[in-house]
Amino acid sequence: MQVTLDSARAFFGRAPFMVDLGVVPIAVGDGSLDTELVLAPRHYQHTGQVHAGVMVSMADHSMGAAAQTLAPEGFVIITAELSTRLLRAARGRRLVCEARVLKPGRLVSFTEADVYAEDGGVRTHVLRASATMALVASERLGGRG
């Protein structure tokens, strides 16, 4: 399935939680997808750093979308397993997530993502995630996808 940046943005636009967070695709390729999130006060927790849930959600959806670029027509990707490592506190103007498929498969795909906090030209690696993504026939999900 040929995925363009416009179709990736439309895909994210159909995910209300991603819209609420403000995560948008900025680059797409076969088996890869980069996203960004311009940070706002609502993304921070009481300690002054970006909430881990924001970064994990961004990585999860970005990895799923990267896997979706390789999925056959009529199949959608859902997360089967997710692992994250928080490397350091995230602060800055925006987050950038670089997600990629490590190994595509017929039933599952293995993915990885790195999240960076950017501020004033400084880029800090803040999270690494990996996930096993399951391919599910869209009719099994009520035609959603």
| CB distance 133 to 78 below 8 Å | yes
| Domains defined for the chain, CATH in brackets | 5-141 (3.10.129.10)
pTM: 0.94
Look up tokens 């994250």; give the residue.
84
CA distance 121 to 99: 21
145 has a pLDDT exceeding 80? no
Give the separation between CA 67 and CA 87, rounded to whole angstroms. Answer: 24
What are the tens digits of pLDDT across the range 31-64? 999 999 999 999 999 999 999 999 999 999 999 9
3-state SS string for 41-104: HHHECCCCCECHHHHHHHHHHHHHHHHHCCCCCCEEEEEEEEEEEECCCCCCCEEEEEEEEEEC
